[in-house]
Amino acid sequence: MYFCLACLSSGRCLKKIALTVSDDELRNPKFLTDVRLSARKKNVSSHRWLDYLCSLYRDYDGTIFDHDGKEVLLDLEAFESVQIREWFRSWISAPDAGDKPPRLRSESRERVRLLATILRAAFPGEARLWGVEPANDN
């Protein structure tokens, strides 16, 4: 493997990339639970979530690709709603339903996709474990 001059000194590629959240991931209840818990750990109030996501996306210095390998620019229009603060509060802060898998309503699908994609880009180490079941509980 050959590195460009910028990456040669670190011994790894410094180009940051992230993938958009796929439909399969949105159908995975464990993935949804992990995204929700990760968002909850950020301790951002429902009034600040939209600004927080916009800032994370603005400050992301990498590239976001879809699963076909095409570069995408995220359209945050799904968050343009009068009740978006209530949606953030109800989706992120919703109590866990115990053993019942979380349900994703059709109108929330794109919002969750955008939220998870931006969080995945901003916090890749944390996002790497979303939807992953441990091999054992030891």
For residue 31, pLDDT over 90 is answered with yes
Q: CA angle at residue 87 from 81 to 89, to 5 degrees? A: 135
User: What is the distance between the alpha carbons of residues 37 and 17, in angstroms, rounded to a whole number?
Assistant: 23
For residue 1, pLDDT over 60 is answered with no
User: What is the distance between the alpha carbons of residues 67 and 132, in angstroms, rounded to a whole number?
Assistant: 19
Name the average pLDDT for the chain.
Answer: 86
Confidence (pLDDT) at 11: 64
Q: What are the beta bridge partners of residue 29?
A: none
| pTM for this predicted structure | 0.85
CB 92 within 8 A of CB 36: yes
CB 41 within 8 A of CB 129: no
CB 46 within 8 A of CB 85: yes
Q: Which tens digit of pLDDT belongs to each residue from 58-116?
A: 999 888 999 898 999 999 999 998 899 999 998 888 766 666 777 788 888 999 999 99
Higher-confidence position of 93 and 28: 28
Task: Write the DSSP string, 44-61.
Answer: --TTTHHHHHHHHHHH--
Query: What are the residues whose beta carbons fall under 8 Å from the beta carbon of 16, sequence distance 6 or more?
Result: 60, 61, 62, 63, 121, 124
Question: C-alpha dihedral over 135, 40, 32, 26, to 10 degrees?
Answer: -130
